[in-house]
A = this chain, B = another copy of it.
Amino acid sequence: MKASIEQAFGREIRKAREKLGRSQEGLAFDAEVHRTYIGMIERGQKSPTLGVILRLARALNLKPSELVRRAEARFEKSNPWI
């Protein structure tokens, strides 16, 4: 199934969040974004800005580039001919 880079990013955010046993609320608080925004990000319904990517990465103890690398790998895997 084809997925957008936003969907791939959202899946990786959810995976990293659940690995830490965090709720969407907890992540939203730490990253200083609205709780409903985390839900939209995780479902790939919003394209996060670089500033939001940085805050999410900090809240998840990851580098922004690592988050993007994971999303990119998932995205490439789901779009092998692009």
Copies in the complex: 2
CB of B47 within 8 A of CB of A49, answer yes
A4→B55 CA distance, assembly (Å): 12
Is residue A42 within 8 Å, beta carbon to beta carbon, of the partner chain?
no
In this assembly, does A65 line the interface, its C-beta being within 8 Å of a C-beta of chain B? yes
Give chain A's interface secondary structure class.
helix
Q: Contact residue range for chain A?
A: 20 to 34
A53 within 8 A of B: yes
A49-B47, A49-B49 known; A65 and B54 CB under 8 Å?
no
* A interface residue numbers (CB < 8 A to B): 4-6, 9, 47-54, 63-66, 68-69, 71-72
